[in-house]
Amino acid sequence: MIGGKNQFRLVVCCLLALLLATTVSAKDKTKVIAHRGYWKTEGSAQNSIRSLELAKEIKVYGCEFDVHLTADNVPVVFHDQHINGKDIQKTSYAELKDHKLPNGETLPTLEQYLKRAKKVKRIKLIFELKSHATPERDREAARIAVDMVNRMKLGKRTEYIAFSLEAAKALHQYAPKRPVYYLNGDLSPKQLKELGFAGLDYHYKVMQQHPEWFKKAKELKLKVNDWTVNEVPVMKEMIEKGADFLTTDHPEEALQAVQSYR
């Protein structure tokens, strides 16, 4: 009887250990971010509201999108600085509001995008603030953007990224409790830690040139995001090296790569 009880306890302990290991493994898996939303599919377009909806449908961790400030301080969601020949940052919103995306949607304002995001739940919003003409303009864009996110009560779902160091610093200032990542690839993990950033969000080629940064980031408790990882062998390489996130134009392939990794 005693031997039977001990054997039973051993089996229970083993099952609990296996369950714990599985839970930790799932938690630590590389997460996928849809670059400019899930747009490489029918009816979608980069940075469209539909691309946000579709990113949610395929169950990625986050949807990345890009924001510019118009000349009259209206934040709009678009990647390039020009739309149909108009420089977004030098043009009023009234002159931009009727421009169409390739899927027929009208150029979305940040407010319109966030309103839809409130209904598209359980997906992180990876907010890239595009670089503006001056440091002052970067700071103004950061202030306006964070204020709008907070007013719409989406602060807890939003993570910020920027190429401009001035913009990234301003985002950290205005949203001190939210993750802010730097994109430019020219600062070491130690420098990023000193600036208070949550981690490094670098092109995968930068990380290939500095593989030691994966380990250093972990030591400093910083996250690592690699962009734009579109080839499956590179996805697997970055997963193997310990990337916390993959930002990609091919989120379904990335999800499969993560699932197949052991």
Per-residue pLDDT, 2: 43
The 10 Å CB-count burial string (b at 16+, else e) for 204-226 is bebbeeeeebbebbeebebbbbb
Q: Using 50, 70 and 90 to split pLDDT, how confident is the model at 47?
A: very high
At 103-150, the pLDDT tens digits run: 999 999 999 999 999 999 999 999 999 999 999 999 999 999 999 999
28: pLDDT strictly greater than 80: no
Task: Spell out the domains of the chain, with CATH numbers in brackets.
Answer: 29-260 (3.20.20.190)
pLDDT at 26: 41
Q: Report the chain's mean pLDDT, rounded to a whole number.
A: 92
Evaluate whether 55 touches 63 at the Cβ level (below 8 Å). Answer: yes
∠ CA 253-256-258, rounded to 5°: 110
Q: What is the mean pLDDT of residues 194-221?
A: 98
Write down the pLDDT at residue 20.
Answer: 41
Q: DSSP letters of 242-255?
A: T-SEEEES-HHHHH
- Residue 3 is predicted with a pLDDT of 52
Q: What is the mean pLDDT of residues 215-244?
A: 98
